Amino acid sequence: MSPRVYDVFGYCGNIFLGIQLIPQIIKTIRTRSAEDISYMFLTTSTLGLISAGVYAIHLRDLPIILGLCCGITMNIVLAASKFIIHIMAPHPQTPHASDTTFAHNKKETSEIKELQEIIIV
């Protein structure tokens, strides 16, 4: 096979590896739940991608570099989604409607929903 064919396989494989987390990111944003996603998974995956990226840069292998950049970006987006959802999660205590904190949190929640709708569109 010619070297061009191997490049095509390299680009295709790395595109799939780079976009593999998109369905999980969409599900996380839609369900507003990221409890099952481990920070350890995200950390080790990102560190592995960065390490492989350094090696790919050394080899000047563009197909691998592009795929790894996509993978790193997806990991960062998923980690940020998990962090934001964790921060914005309601507390287990149910406040009374007359509580001013409750009213303030409702306003923040509606603002967050508006931002999430903008991101999804």
Rounded CA separation 11/20 (Å): 14
CATH architecture of the domain with residue range 3-89: Up-down Bundle (1.20)
Under DSSP, the state recorded for 91 is P
Q: Which residues make Cβ contacts (< 8 Å) with residue 19, sequence separation at least 6?
A: 70, 74
Question: pLDDT tens digits, the chain, 121 residues: what are they?
Answer: 888 898 888 888 888 887 888 899 899 889 888 888 898 999 999 999 999 999 999 999 888 888 888 889 999 999 999 999 888 877 565 555 555 555 555 656 777 777 677 676 5
